[in-house]
Amino acid sequence: MTEEQKKLHRQLAVDCFNSTWELIEKKDRTADEDLQMIHTAHASRYHWGQIGTWLEFQRGEWQISRVYSVLEQGEAALFHAEAGYKISKQNDMKPFDRAFACEAMARAHHVLGNTRKRDIFVRETIAVAKEIGESIDRTYVWNELSSFVPEPPTD
């Protein structure tokens, strides 16, 4: 692969990731935008798969899982959460990304209505988040948990 091709894959991966995030945050998405959100998340992960590292692979799986959770498609959310969780475990990632791999698992189980497994992964998310050095990053994890956990943890 040429350097020009690598540069193009990187730019497309970043652009698709950012477009997906904008759609995740959009309040009143249309059905067409929901479909676009699925496609851009997968496209981002594909492009990172061509030139990225385990970090981008894990974050891509996390984002895809998040998209499916937002759309209340629990099985697909869990499939991608499990892929990201496995990547984070096998590659000894930093606490911030490990915490979000756990958060994706908790969120997917929440969407599926499996509160027992959700709570297992919420506890794991909290334990890993305590290893995060930056308070602002821990707060970000807590805020994400509070979006679906009945009693969010406090820092």
pLDDT per position as a tens digit, 29-45: 999 999 999 999 999 99
Q: Six-digit token pair at 67?
A: 């998209």
C-beta of residue 85 within 8 angstroms of C-beta of residue 101 = yes
- The full DSSP string for 22-86 is HHHH-SS--HHHHHHHHHHHHHHHHHHHHH--HHHHHHHHHHHHHHHHHTT-HHHHHHHHHHHHH
Question: Per-residue pLDDT for 154 more than 90?
Answer: no
Provide mean pLDDT across the span 124-135: 93
The sign of the CA dihedral 125, 130, 134, 140 is: positive
Q: What pLDDT, in 10s, does the model give residues 98-126?
A: 999 999 999 999 999 999 999 999 999 99
pLDDT score for 36: 98
Tell me the pLDDT band of 131, cut-offs 50, 70 and 90: very high
Tell me the pLDDT band of 155, cut-offs 50, 70 and 90: very low
Q: What pLDDT, in 10s, does the model give residues 44-95?
A: 999 999 999 999 999 999 999 999 999 999 999 999 999 999 999 999 899 9
Task: Using a cut of 0.85, tell me whether the model's pTM lies above it.
Answer: yes
